[in-house]
Amino acid sequence: MADVVLQETTEKMRKAVAHARGEFASIRTGRAAPALVEKIVVDYYGSEVPLQQLAGFQVPEARQLLITPYDKGAMGAIEKAIQSSDLGLTPSNDGVNIRLTFPPLTQERRKELVKVVKHMAEEGKVAIRNLRRAARHELEGLEKDGELSGDELARAEKELDKITHAQEAEIDKALEAKEHELLED
């Protein structure tokens, strides 16, 4: 029974790490990446739709992103959504594609973004710790119900701590990579 709890918790923690990595991908590094705009919500004929469902993306150059809408009628709505997003970019429209040019980041802006990424990493770690706490309560409940002995509970808690530290290390590794990416020129 304890193994089931540990497996479920491990899976949830992996999802928390994946979520944190996805959050990191949404931070601009001066390079063009579709992840920066995929989740932007576009008002498409009265419906709120993520941009990734309305257009294809290409990166022809390191600092340029080409957005090709599947429906040319959505061009204006996509441009408006990009302008109102927090990217701080002005799209240029050639009638077929929308082009976004990413200016190089200043050193000050890079340091601000590192702080934002560190905050995101901490949120990911908090989510992992909350999952650990929930799993501990579940294991202690199993012990109270007589389904686990004290020794089995101790072993399961040690295993839970190992899993937790491993997942936190994954977030730290992703954070370090993103920091390096942000601070390099």
At residue 33, the pLDDT reads 81
For residue 87, give the CATH number of its domain: 3.30.1360.40
At residue 118, the pLDDT reads 94
At residue 129, the pLDDT reads 96
For residue 177, give the CATH number of its domain: 1.10.132.20
At residue 112, the pLDDT reads 85
Same domain, 130 and 178: yes
At residue 185, the pLDDT reads 57
Same domain, 96 and 112: no
Same domain, 113 and 95: no
At residue 173, the pLDDT reads 96
pLDDT in tens, 71-83: 988 898 999 998 8
At residue 31, the pLDDT reads 76
At residue 16, the pLDDT reads 94
At residue 53, the pLDDT reads 92
At residue 157, the pLDDT reads 93
Residue with tokens 């990166």, as numbered in its chain: 59
Whether this model's pTM surpasses 0.85: no
Dist CA 74 CA 72 (whole Å): 5
At residue 150, the pLDDT reads 87
Residues in the chain with pLDDT values less than 70 = 185
At residue 184, the pLDDT reads 79
Q: Where does a domain end: 77, 101, 125?
A: 101
* Domain span including residue 178: 2-25+106-183
Q: Where does a domain end: 69, 101, 133?
A: 101
